[in-house]
Amino acid sequence: MALQSDGYWQSSLRLDGPRPSGFTGSYSLRLVINHNPRRQLKAIAVTGSTWKLQALELGIGGHNVNFRIHCDQEVLFRLSPDLLQLEVLSGISTEALEPITQFSTYELNGFVWDDLDMFQKFNAQLPGRSFIKQDKRLWSLDVPLRCNGGIDFRADGVYQFLISAQGEEDYGFAAINDGQGTLVHGSGFSSSHGTSLHSACTVRVQRDGLYRFFLHDPEGSPSFSVEALDTSADESGEILPQPELLNHRVTIQLLGTIFADAPFDPTKPERQLKPTRPNGLLELEVDVKAGNHAINFAINAELFLDTMGFGCWIDLPTTENSKELHGMAWHGKPQEWNISFHLDQDGRLKVGYDISRDRFSLSLMSPGILRPTTHLQELSLVGNFEAPLDSWNPENPANLMQSIGSGRFERCVKLQAGTTYKYKYVANRSPWILVFADYELDGMGADFAGRNPDPTNPGHAALRDYGQLTTHGNPPPLEYTPIESGFYQFFADVVTGAYAVIPLHN
């Protein structure tokens, strides 16, 4: 937001209204001060189009600013820092913008829906996933789970999920990693609160069966729990335990390409950071090979507790001969870079993590230079393409796209009809460190086809319909199967996330 001469902060955005495709024109937001996820302003009351805000370090005890617009319009956001009030003003009329303050439905979304494809698991608007109201403070839903269920590449009975409201993820809840099942308002895929104490709800089951999910006191002090409905003994006579709640933050692990073997495996005990001082600082020293690297941090040795990514660099070095870097591990799924840097020669690196502030440090303990990656300079189209592209080689300049300004890139490629092409976009010719693809779980799009008819002018509704490029680690590849042979234009906008594959031979 921009500071005005009258002392107010304000910003104006053009927003999409409802679409026949199912987009409802619903929006959700909150304010973050100085890029610090521990300094957030959330809504505690609303009068007309003015929301009363409160500073909440962990976001507990407040809602996002939720509203719905009834047609395309310009919306003005105007903040009074003295009164802590946010006006959300329609550019058309007061009737064209509707504050959302009450919820009549809550939905369970996530890997608990084992039989649905990846695009549908977190689709909050599918039927059959609404909690049933038991009384004013208790809602429940019964779902079958499997000890070998969950996300397909693990299939180990660990389930992660979110709870939405009114069919909107960002109106609902995610978890606090306090071991108590505490929930926090307004934390869907688009509005994670960003600290190591926030994650999606995560549980582990050890037997197949029917499980009851409980949502407690959603409008007061919300929490969740999960219980097995079948408590009989198994074939050996053993009564298996109830589901294990995994939302804790007791330990932090260092992950990344600095490890040659299983670089992002959080279960290896030697990767756990150790307390070195009584103020919450954890540290670990690692021998690191020269080159480009990406790291992040896991919570409680559980990958699903969402590694801390993004790596917002702070206090950047003022000289080229830097040996120490500092940053903030802001987890903003699914838009989250890993923490990227370059080491000019083999060396020993001390990595520190301050759990009281979610800040990290990298200190080079040996000769050499440590440089942070701070800019996206190039973008490559990398996949199973034929010459002149180099198949699946992210570092070859033959795969570079042409920059057309404002974060947009394009590349013309000849394709054969009926061939399925798999590909990703890779920044800075990095070795699979800075990667863009379409994250299946973020509620944006329903396939990888790149069908956006106007990717140069995307609104939120178009991204919801056709998908959005994200930077969620090294995600699965995009896919495109042309009907006709000929030349196709691959387009990617790394600012908005819009992308498309456009035939040029018609």
Between CA 437 and CA 449 the distance in angstroms is: 12
Query: What pLDDT score was predicted for residue 326?
Result: 93
- Closest by alpha carbon to 325, among 317, 334, 335, 337? 317
The CA distance from 76 to 6, in Å, is 16
The stretch 100-105 carries a mean pLDDT of 94
Give the pLDDT band (50/70/90) at residue 287.
Answer: very high
Report pLDDT for 191.
86
The pLDDT of 177-204, averaged and rounded, is 93
Q: What is the pLDDT of residues 34-52, one digit of tens each?
A: 888 888 999 999 999 999 9
CA distance 175 to 198: 6
Query: How buried is residue 138: exposed, middle or buried, by Cβ count under 10 Å (0-12/13-18/19+)?
Result: middle
DSSP label at residue 276: -
User: What number is the average pLDDT over the span 256-279?
Assistant: 92
Q: Residue holding tokens 């070195």?
A: 276
Model pTM? 0.93
Mean per-residue pLDDT over the chain, rounded:
93
User: CA–CA distance from 10 to each of 3, 13, 26, 47 (Å)?
Assistant: 7, 10, 20, 19
CATH code for the structural domain at 252-372: 2.60.40.3620
> What's the whole-number mean pLDDT along residues 7-23?
93
Note the pLDDT of residue 331.
82
The rounded distance, in Å, linking the Cα atoms of 231 and 240 is 8
Tokens of 104: 């009549």
Mean pLDDT value of segment 283-291:
97
280 within 8 A of 300, measured Cβ to Cβ: no
What pLDDT band is residue 506 in, cutting at 50, 70 and 90?
A: low
- Please state, in angstroms and rounded to a whole number, the distance separating the CA atoms of residues 499 and 463: 9
**What's the burial of 350, exposed, middle or buried (CB within 10 Å: 0-12/13-18/19+)?**
middle
pLDDT of 218:
96
Q: Please tell me the predicted confidence (pLDDT) of residue 490.
A: 98
**Structure token pair of residue 23:** 């987009």
* pLDDT over 90 (residue 334): no
Sign of the torsion angle spanned by Cα atoms 395, 312, 203, 142: negative
The predicted model gives 484-504 an average pLDDT of 96
Question: What does the pLDDT read at residue 29?
Answer: 95
Question: 313, 339 in Cβ contact below 8 A?
Answer: no
Classify domain 379-503 by CATH architecture: Sandwich (2.60)
Cis status of the peptide bond prior to 482, with omega within 30 of 0? no
Tokens describing residue 253: 């692990």
- Report whether pLDDT(321) > 80: no
CB-based burial label for 159 (10 Å; 0-12, 13-18, 19+):
buried
Decide if pLDDT at 263 tops 70: yes
> Would you list the domain boundaries of the chain?
2-99, 106-245, 252-372, 379-503
**What gap in Å lies between CA 308 and CA 336, rounded to an integer?**
9
Mean pLDDT of 200-229: 96
Contact yes or no for 329/196 (Cβ under 8 A): yes
- What is the mean predicted confidence (pLDDT) over 424-438? 95
Q: Residue 477: pLDDT band by 50, 70, 90 thresholds?
A: very high
On the question of a cis peptide bond just before residue 334, with omega within 30 degrees of 0, the verdict is yes
For residues 415-426, give the mean pLDDT. 97
